[in-house]
Amino acid sequence: MGEHVLVTGGAGFIGRAVIAELLRRGNRVRILDCFLDQVHGGVEPTLDDAVEVVRADIRDGDAVAGALKGVDSVVHLAAEVGVGQSMYEVERYTSANDVGTAVLFERLIDRPVRRVVTASSMSIYGEGLYRAQDGRLVENAERGIVRDGQRVWNPIDAAGVALDPLPTPEWKRPSLASIYALNKYVQERTTHIMAAPYGIESVCLRLFNVYGPGQALSNPYTGVLAIFASRLLNGERPMIFEDGEQRRDFVHVSDVARAFADALVLQQAAGGTFNIGSGQDRSVTEVAQALARAMGRNDCEPEILGKARIGDIRHCFCDTTLARETLGFVAGQDFETGLAELAEWVGQQTAHDRIGQARAELEARGLVA
């Protein structure tokens, strides 16, 4: 017999996949979600009839307390998401993400549960792990973007030689390059700090680039594949910052849902923080071209902007060793198959392309160099 699980932010893209996996495993599920317009575009998401819905903000202490009644465990996904937007809507992001998490744990003091699994992000790493030419590992790589009047996209050493990017492990020190990254790190630390004194087990999952059907296509601050899909669906070229050679790790939402469900029950997960990714790195241009092919839009070559957003990083992809050895987690979804599935779903949707508006907002605030 499963548990009664509260999923905060359960109506979102990842939340709906987590709910489906929890129900499949025999759990009862309640969600708390404010159904934010930027995420849902004013359209009510379809939820399983078995899911109990509490429509409220994570900062509403009374609503959170009510949602915790009778609950055995919590998956904490509720958060404002978007590196770029976090750099000018600072209060909104910090309030929803950090204060919201604080409210949750204050209410857990009186209603402790067995375990809380919190969604973190690869964004806390800033730049990923690198290796210098002399073999030295570099955890604090930085780049100036413009050096001696020339654009230099890759982090370099003191001699001006580009560093080699490596898979990023959990032990790599955080480098908080955006307010969103700072928020996610605070959520992580709040989870681990507040859980143990009250007899609650804690787990944090650092998610890499999650993709799949159900993404918020009209939200210009969501995952890059959803942004590309929205552009392609509207007959526009995907817009890519810098030179398009920045490398990321894309993991399917079904694999992420499985990771959350496992992290909720595996005893060896307690107290841990784990990367969740595919272990495969790809350039952003490569990904945009692959999605265009999957959507039958080979005529839409990406538009390479040659500009960088403040807070963006060059390379960060996933070292999956700890999750594999401790949780037994291995991503199972083939990328090309996953893209075909995403393309089929996107073809049945309507999306409002707001990426131009989002870019203009960033540029107006001096956040594009």
Tell me if 322 sits within 8 A of 312, measured CB to CB: no
Structural domain count, the chain:
1
Distance CA 216, CA 225 (A): 10
* SS3 at position 128: coil
Distance CA 181, CA 349 (A): 30
DSSP one-letter string for 320-351: -HHIIIII-------HHHHHHHHHHHHTT---
Tell me if 53 sits within 8 A of 31, measured CB to CB: yes
Query: Is residue 281 assigned to a domain?
Result: yes
The one catalytic residue in 93, 130, 180, 221 is 180
Distance CA 28, CA 199 (A): 22
Other CB atoms within a 10 A radius of the CB of residue 21 amount to: 21
Percentage of the chain beyond pLDDT 70 is 89
Query: Is residue 307 assigned to a domain?
Result: yes
Indicate which CATH number applies to the domain containing 27. 3.40.50.720
pLDDT per residue as tens digits for the range 318-369: 999 999 999 999 999 999 999 999 888 888 776 555 555 545 555 565 545 4
Retrieve residue 114's tokens.
């067995």
Query: Is residue 100 assigned to a domain?
Result: yes
Query: Is residue 369 assigned to a domain?
Result: no
Q: Cβ neighbours of residue 120 under 8 Å, at least 6 residues apart? A: 184, 185, 187, 188, 204, 205, 206, 207, 273
Query: Is residue 157 assigned to a domain?
Result: no
Distance CA 161, CA 146 (A): 15
Which has the closest alpha carbon to 68: 4, 127, 145?
4
Query: Is residue 317 assigned to a domain?
Result: yes
Which has the closest alpha carbon to 32: 91, 104, 90?
104
Tell me if 312 sits within 8 A of 83, measured CB to CB: yes
Q: Is 180 a catalytic residue?
A: yes
Query: Is residue 268 assigned to a domain?
Result: yes
User: Tens-digit pLDDT profile for the chain (369 aa)?
Assistant: 689 999 999 999 999 999 999 999 999 999 999 988 666 555 677 788 899 999 999 999 999 999 999 999 999 999 998 888 888 899 999 999 999 999 999 999 999 999 999 999 999 999 999 999 999 999 999 887 765 556 789 999 888 899 999 999 999 999 998 899 999 999 999 999 999 999 999 999 999 999 998 887 655 556 677 788 888 888 888 889 899 999 999 999 999 999 999 999 999 999 999 999 999 999 999 999 998 898 888 888 889 988 887 767 899 999 999 999 999 999 999 999 999 998 888 887 765 555 555 455 555 655 454
Tell me if 351 sits within 8 A of 218, measured CB to CB: yes
Q: Cβ neighbours of residue 161 under 8 Å, at least 6 residues apart? A: 132, 133
* SS3 at position 301: coil
State the residue range of the domain holding 292.
Answer: 4-129+166-364
Q: What is the pTM for the complete model shown?
A: 0.91
pLDDT per residue as tens digits for the range 267-316: 999 999 999 999 999 999 999 999 889 888 888 888 998 888 776 789 99
Backbone φ and ψ for 324, nearest 5 degrees, come out as -70, -45
| Distance (Å) of CA 197 to CA 186, 200, 201, 365 | 18, 7, 10, 43
